[in-house]
Amino acid sequence: MKPQNEFEKNVVSASANLPSLTDRQLQWGLDNSIQYVARYNKQKYTCTKCGHQWQSDTKKNYVKCPHCGTRLLVHEGLKKVYNETAYFTVMTACEGYQVMRSVVVRCTMKVGSPAVYDWAEVMQRWIAADGTYVNFARLRQTFNTMYFDLWLFRTALILRQRNAIYDRIYSGTVCPYMSIIPELRRRGLKRSLYRHFSFNLIVGLLRNNSKIETLLKMNQKSLLHKFLIGRCNIDDYWPSIKICFRNHYLVKDANIWCDYIDMLKYLGKDIRNAKYVCPMDLKKAHDKAVQKKIKKEVEEEIDSPDFLLKELRYKESKSKFLGLAFSDGLIHIKLIESVKDMILEGKVMHHCVGHYYTKEDSLIFSATVSGKRIETVEVSISQMKVVQCRGVCNKMTQYHNRIIKLVENNLSLIQSRVSA
């Protein structure tokens, strides 16, 4: 694409002076973006990164290779080849622009041999000091595939038109070896926070979003992440957040805390009172509010004259997804198909899912084992990912990771309903 305006011309000119990725940055990406495997077979571990083998009578979930020092995920069996694709991001300051450089690594791990890599820098976000940005990217395979990030490594990395796809791509962990423009440093962006960097954070800071800057400087990382992904409006919670600042209260789980504040509003509590907003035990306070809210909600909604209308609206909004269910033999996951069942799920599981039938962008599933509810799963339709997965009283069960993996393995089934 040819530059269409003066800003794009300046960026294209500056791109000629962008330095190449250093060996140190690339090696960090290879070490930290790939989940390496240790195959365990006949009391022998084999590191798929360096190929080293060693004996052990004990099988663990994770082990450390005694040769290369890599933390390895243990996989038991006879599989000989493992393939992994991952992203990492490098931050580079270039002629007054902040460049977020996304790198894809394709790794082939053969048991008994060192891992083999193929990598390419596939996308660049060139961001000016005022938050204006353009995208550089390689071409993607789009024909006859449901994936949107099948990059063609051998195509040119050049200026491209705006495309929402670029915003949907998760670019992985940010490399700590970076350079940052002065405008970001003045707004509180520190290298030590590199694991929390994101495109939305960078643009928000440069566009003088004072609330994002304040959350960053007050070290409210969980709240910052929640609002940056755009799942809720920060203004709805700002009065309560300011109470947290004044009382030096750190929100460690933004999802639970925001749910808690929403319930306080519903129950008519003062959301500017530190007694409610800053509980010593957030989980206990949240669970107590859940019980009060569900009790009030069940009483009001089932007996209300418009309850049938809510049922009809919910089933209409989720009509594409009705009947969705999948299983791995032990765990059965099924879409909650009515408001009544949603309220019942929340009541039985002692969490706040009972009012989630109003969430247009969410699908709520109930995971059961032998007919017993064990966890409730929320999936974002727009982002096509698991937002949260909670058991009784918001606790995680022994099946937690298995449930999430089962849902993720069936996201294509959900996506097919969206496209239908």
Cα separation of 312 and 185, whole Å? 52
Point out the domain boundary residue: 159, 174, 189: 174
Q: Is 263 exposed, middle or buried (0-12, 13-18, 19+ CB in 10 A)?
A: buried
Cα separation of 82 and 35, whole Å? 10
- Structural domain range at position 414: 311-419
Q: In sequence order, which residues have a C-beta less than 8 Å from that of residue 87 and are 6 or more positions away?
A: 33, 102, 103, 104, 105, 169, 170, 171, 172
Please compute Rg for the chain using Cα positions. 24
Kindly state whether residue 106 falls inside one of the protein's structural domains: yes
The domain total for the chain is 2
Kindly state whether residue 188 falls inside one of the protein's structural domains: no
> Is 260:251 a contact under the CB 8 Å cutoff?
no
Sheet bearing 325-327, strands edge to edge: 325-327, 331-335, 362-369, 372-380, 385-390
Kindly state whether residue 202 falls inside one of the protein's structural domains: no
Predicted pLDDT of residue 172:
81
- The whole-angstrom distance between residue 103's C-alpha and the CA centroid of its chain comes to 18
Cα separation of 110 and 129, whole Å? 45
Beta strand pairing call for 158-160 and 173-174: unpaired
308 token code pair: 């049938």
Kindly state whether residue 254 falls inside one of the protein's structural domains: no
- Helices and strands (DSSP H and E) totals, the chain: 15, 16
Cα separation of 44 and 11, whole Å? 53
Point out the domain boundary residue: 134, 152, 174: 174
What CATH number is given to the structural domain containing 352?
Answer: 3.40.630
* DSSP one-letter string for 153-203: TTS--EEE---HHHHH----EEPSS----HHHHHTT--GGGGGG--HHHHH
Give pLDDT tens digits for 208-248: 889 999 999 999 989 998 888 776 889 999 999 999 999 99
Q: Which regions of the chain are under pLDDT 50?
A: none
Kindly state whether residue 210 falls inside one of the protein's structural domains: no
Single-letter amino acid, residue 378: E
Give pLDDT tens digits for 105-141: 999 999 989 999 999 999 999 999 999 999 999 998 8
* DSSP one-letter string for 259-304: HHHHHHHHTT--TT-HHHHS-SSHHHHHHHHHHHHHHHHHHHHHHS
How many CB atoms are closer than 10 A to CB 139? 16
Point out the domain boundary residue: 151, 174, 197: 174
